[in-house]
Amino acid sequence: MASKQITIGIGIPMIVVGALLAVFLAPMQLGLQDTIEFIGSLIGILGVVIFIAGLFARKTPKIIS
């Protein structure tokens, strides 16, 4: 069962923010363009990893002691 909170709440916003950084903000900053592209790409890749992890997340049974 997929976890909507992880997938929609964290994964998709990270992908969007990473893309915005890499595509729109990096060309405006001449001195730091490579660094901003790298950070934006890194955020986007981590967003994809979290998105996929949210798809495979499952509920664990409660342990009653």
Q: Across all residues in the chain, what is the average pLDDT?
A: 87
Instruction: Give the pLDDT confidence of 23-51 residue by residue, as tens digits.
Output: 888 888 888 888 989 999 999 999 999 99
Is residue 64 in a domain?
A: no
Is residue 50 in a domain?
A: yes
Q: What is the pLDDT of residue 1?
A: 59
For residues 4-30, average pLDDT: 88
pTM above 0.75, yes or no: yes
For residues 7-22, average pLDDT: 90
Alpha helices in 1-65 (DSSP H): 4-6, 12-20, 33-56
Measured distance CA(20)–CA(25) in Å, rounded:
7
> Do residues 39 and 21 lie in contact, with contact meaning Cβ atoms separated by under 8 Å?
yes
Is residue 16 in a domain?
A: yes
Map tokens 């990893």 to a residue: 49
Q: What percentage of the chain reaches a pLDDT higher than 90?
A: 37
Residue 14 sits in which domain range?
Answer: 4-56
